[in-house]
Amino acid sequence: MEWIQQLVNGISLGSIYALIALGYTMVYGIIKLINFAHGEVFMIGAFVGFYAIRGLGLGLFPALLLAMLVCASLGVIIERIAYKRLRHATRIAALTTAIGVSLFIQYVTIYFRGAQPEGYPDVFPSANFKIFGVSISSQSIFILVVSILLMIMLQFIVHRTKIGKAMRAVSHDAEAAQLMGINVDNTISATFAIGSALAGAAGVIFGVYYGKIEPLMGIMPGLKAFIAAVLGGIGIIPGAMVGGLLLGVVETFVSAAGYSMWRDAVAFIILILILLFKPTGLFGKNMREKV
């Protein structure tokens, strides 16, 4: 029974990772940019939600919407100011700028409100119910459902809609995409807007679920989301979902076995093993470069 409980614990943790990883992998897949600032957008989302609930007295869903909106704009602004100029630069230059942006957001936040953590208001009281002795909180079911829905939605957007096709075209060859009549700037902005809105939503949900937010909260989940995205195969949306869940379950099981100190190490070992056997991630097509 304990192990089933642990599996439930792991899936809840994993759905949080998945939630962040979805937006991450989308931007990643399309712009080919490891957007280190994704974790910080997630953090800003959490704080926007917090102030919306605390300061403006909004309910959970209006606050969630507001956070998504603010983060979408933030994502677009970051892209326009910091990344746009670097579209033709090396990827590593863009990555370094992203790191700079990430530090900048962290420390500006600290500058304005200090580094201390904040307790999240209890707007979505969790009811625990038991099934065969395993206790499951309504919140974790909520998160799992939300992340699955978002995954389906994203997958649909990217693969079935016109804007999604435009995104993929831009991702491969922006100049050729322009020749199709695609507005590259707008398409990239849309990508950032959607990805960042997802990060914002994840921030609020994280806040509600764990009850604690702070200016540096984006670093670890951002890193884990990166791992989940790579584990699933860069740019592959269901891959991010599975990667996130797998990571959550593995981490929980390691803790459950009494090796909580080795939790991240084991997670990384599994990641590396998987990559050694599937060098492009779980769902990545093993497509060799055609010469």
Partner 1 sequence: MKNTKGFWGFLIFAFAFYGISQLLMVMNIIPYHYVNTMVFIAINIILAVSLHIVIGVTGQFSLGHAGFLAIGAYVSAIMTMKLQLPFFVALFVGGTIAALAGLVVGIPSLRLKGDYLAIATLGFGEIIRIMFLNIDYVGGAAGMQVSHLTTWTYAFVCLVITIVVIVNLTNSSHGRACISIREDEIAADAMGINTTYYKVAAFTLGSFFAGVAGGLYAHNFYIIQPGNFGFIKSIDILIFVVLGGLGSMSGAVIAAILLTVVSTFLQGYAETRMIIYSLVLIIVMLYRPQGLMGTSEITSWFKKKGGKSNDNRTTA
Partner 2 sequence: MLKVDELDVFYGNIQALKGVSLDVRQGEVITLIGANGAGKSTLLKALSGLLKPQRGVIDYLGQSIVGKPAQTIVRDGISHVPEGRRVFANMTVQENLELGAYLRKDKAGIREDMRQVYERFPRLLERRGQLSGTLSGGEQQMLAMGRALMARPKLLLLDEPSMGLAPLLVQTIFQIIEEINRDGTTILLVEQNAHMALSVASRAYVIETGRIALSGTAAELQASEQVKQAYLGGQ
Partner 3 sequence: GCGGGSDTSGGTEQTSGDAIKIGVNLELSGGVASYGSSLADGLELAKEQINADGGIDGKQVEFVKVDNKSDAAEATNGAIKLTGQDKVDAIIGAATSGHTIAQVQVATDKQTVIISPSATAPNVTTDDDGNVKDFVFRTSYIDPFQGTVAANFALETLGVKTAAIYADRASDYAKGLAASFKEDFEAAGGQIVAEEFYLEKDTDFRGTLTRIKSANPEFVFIPGYYGEVGLIVKQAREAGIDVPLMGADGWDSPTLIELAGVEALNNTFITNHYSSEDPDETIQEFVTAFKTKYKDKAPDAFNALGYDTLYLLKDAIERAGSVDSDKLKDALAQTKDLNLVTGIITIDEQHNPIKSATVLEYVDGKHTFKTKVNP
Ligand X SMILES: Nc1ncnc2c1ncn2[C@@H]1O[C@H](COP(=O)(O)OP(=O)(O)OP(=O)(O)O)[C@@H](O)[C@H]1O
Residue 176, contacted partner among ligand X, partner 3, partner 2, none, CB below 5-8 A by kind: partner 2
Question: With respect to ligand X, which residue has the nearer C-beta, 130 or 288?
Answer: 288
Indicate whether 230 belongs to the interface with partner 1 (CB under 8 A).
Answer: yes
Record the tokens describing residue 17, joined without a space: 């990772």
CB half-sphere exposure, 193, CA atoms < 13 A: 11
CB contact at 8 A, 113 and 215: yes
CA 271 to chain centre: 18
| Least distance to ligand X, CB of residue 91, Å | 19
Q: What are phi and psi of 205, to 5 degrees?
A: -65, -40
Q: Which long-range contacts (CB under 8 A, 24 or more apart) does 143-147 make?
A: 143/12, 143/15, 143/16, 143/19, 143/205, 143/209, 144/11, 144/12, 144/15, 146/15, 146/19, 146/201, 146/205, 147/15, 147/18, 147/19, 147/22, 147/241, 147/244
Contact pick of 103, 152, 176, 257 for partner 1 (by CB under 8 A): 103
Q: Which two tokens stand for residue 208?
A: 């509600």
Q: From the list partner 3, partner 1, partner 2, none, pick the one residue 100 interacts with, judged by a Cβ distance below 5 to 8 Å according to partner type.
A: partner 1
Strand partners, 131: 134
In the complex with partner 3, the residue whose CB is nearer, 31 or 208, is: 208
- Tokens 């208001």, residue located: 121
Query: Binders of partner 1 among 272-291, rule CB under 8 A?
Result: 272, 275-276, 279-281, 289, 291
Kindly list the residues in this chain that would bind ligand X in the complex (CB under 6 A).
288, 290
Question: Choosing among partner 2, partner 3, ligand X, none, which partner's interface includes residue 113 (Cβ < 5 to 8 Å by kind)?
Answer: none
The residue ranges that bind partner 2 (CB under 8 A) are 162, 165-166, 168-169, 171-173, 175-184, 287, 290
Q: Which residues bind partner 3 (CB under 8 A)?
A: 2, 5-6, 9-10, 12-13, 16, 107, 110, 114-120, 122, 126, 128, 135, 137, 210-212, 214, 216-217, 220, 251-256, 258, 260-261
Kindly state the smallest distance separating residue 286's Cβ from ligand X, in Å. 10
Residues 6+ apart with CB under 8 A from 114: none
Q: Does 150 bind partner 1 (CB under 8 A)?
A: no
Cα distance between residue 277 and residue 247, in whole Å? 17
In this complex, which beta carbon is closest to partner 2, that of residue 184 or of residue 266? 184
Applying CB under 8 A, which residues contact partner 1?
34, 82, 85-86, 88-90, 92-97, 99-101, 103-104, 106-108, 110-111, 223, 226-227, 230, 234, 261-262, 264-265, 268-269, 271-272, 275-276, 279-281, 289, 291
